[in-house]
Amino acid sequence: MIQVMSATESLTAPRLRRVPSRLLAQAAGQADRLISAGLAQADAHKWHYAALATLHDVGSASQADLSRRTGIYRSDMVALLNELEERAYVRRSPDPQDKRRNIISITKRGEQQLSKLDKLVNALQDELLAGLSARDREHLVDLLARLVASFSAAGAGGQ
């Protein structure tokens, strides 16, 4: 999934043109490229944003906690937090109650960066959805949220 090369999209076989999973893949790909490129110009990644936003909303959390909340794997969280710590956006301190845990908290600089990223991400979402009216955007978000929710509820959901 994720294909660009879409200048020639009009040649797509009609049978494929409205397949939901295909449309989702295409849209997600475009979105990802757009957001990633935009965030790169602020020396950031989507994960940086996800982690900082989560930390802001929650206050502080262990790495495993953050992992669950953001959907970023425990294994990748290590490197991500290294980067954020390097830039002094977060602090890692050992949890006195549980010596296995690190307590991750967001710093002042991290908050600043977050509000910068917040604006940037919002602008990028606007750019992404530029072709849709405000009402349509809301509707789309709504449908997607319901799709995601219904899906994790039923089926192969996360056991």
Partner DNA sequence: CTAGTTTCGTTAGTGACATAAACGTTTATG
Partner DNA sequence: CATAAACGTTTATGTCACTAACGAAACTAG
Interface residues toward DNA, by CB under 7 A: 1-5, 25, 29, 33, 36, 45-46, 62-65, 67, 72-79, 81, 92, 97-102
Cβ 150 to a second copy shortest distance, Å: 2
Q: Which of 103, 99, 126, 97 is nearest to 31 (CA)?
A: 126
Minimum distance from residue 63 beta carbon to a second copy (Å): 14
What are the strands of the beta sheet with 60-62, ordered from one edge? 60-62, 102-106, 90-94
Q: Pick what 42 binds: DNA, a second copy, none; C-beta below 5 to 8 Å, kind-dependent.
A: none
Residue 23 or residue 78: which is nearer to a second copy going by CB?
Answer: 23
Query: Least distance to a second copy from the beta carbon of 81, Å?
Result: 16
Residue 132, C-beta contacts closer than 8 angstroms, at least 6 positions apart = 140
User: Which range of residues in 77-85, 88-96, 97-105, 126-134 is near a second copy by CB under 8 A?
Assistant: 126-134
* Per-residue mark of binding to a second copy, 9-48 (x: CB under 8 A): x-xxxxxxxxxxxxxxxxxxxxxxxxx----------x--
Q: Is 53 in the site for a second copy (CB under 8 A)?
A: yes
Say how far residue 33 (Cα) sits from the centre of its chain.
12
In whole angstroms, give the CA distance from residue 98 to residue 151.
35
Nearer to DNA by Cβ, of 50 and 114: the residue is 50
Please, which of residues 54-113 interact with a second copy by CB under 8 A?
54, 56-58, 68-73
Can you tell me the distance from the alpha carbon of 80 to that of 74, in angstroms, rounded to the nearest whole number? 10
DSSP annotation of 18: T
CA 153 from chain centre, in angstroms, equals: 21
C-alpha 152/C-alpha 57 separation (Å) is 23
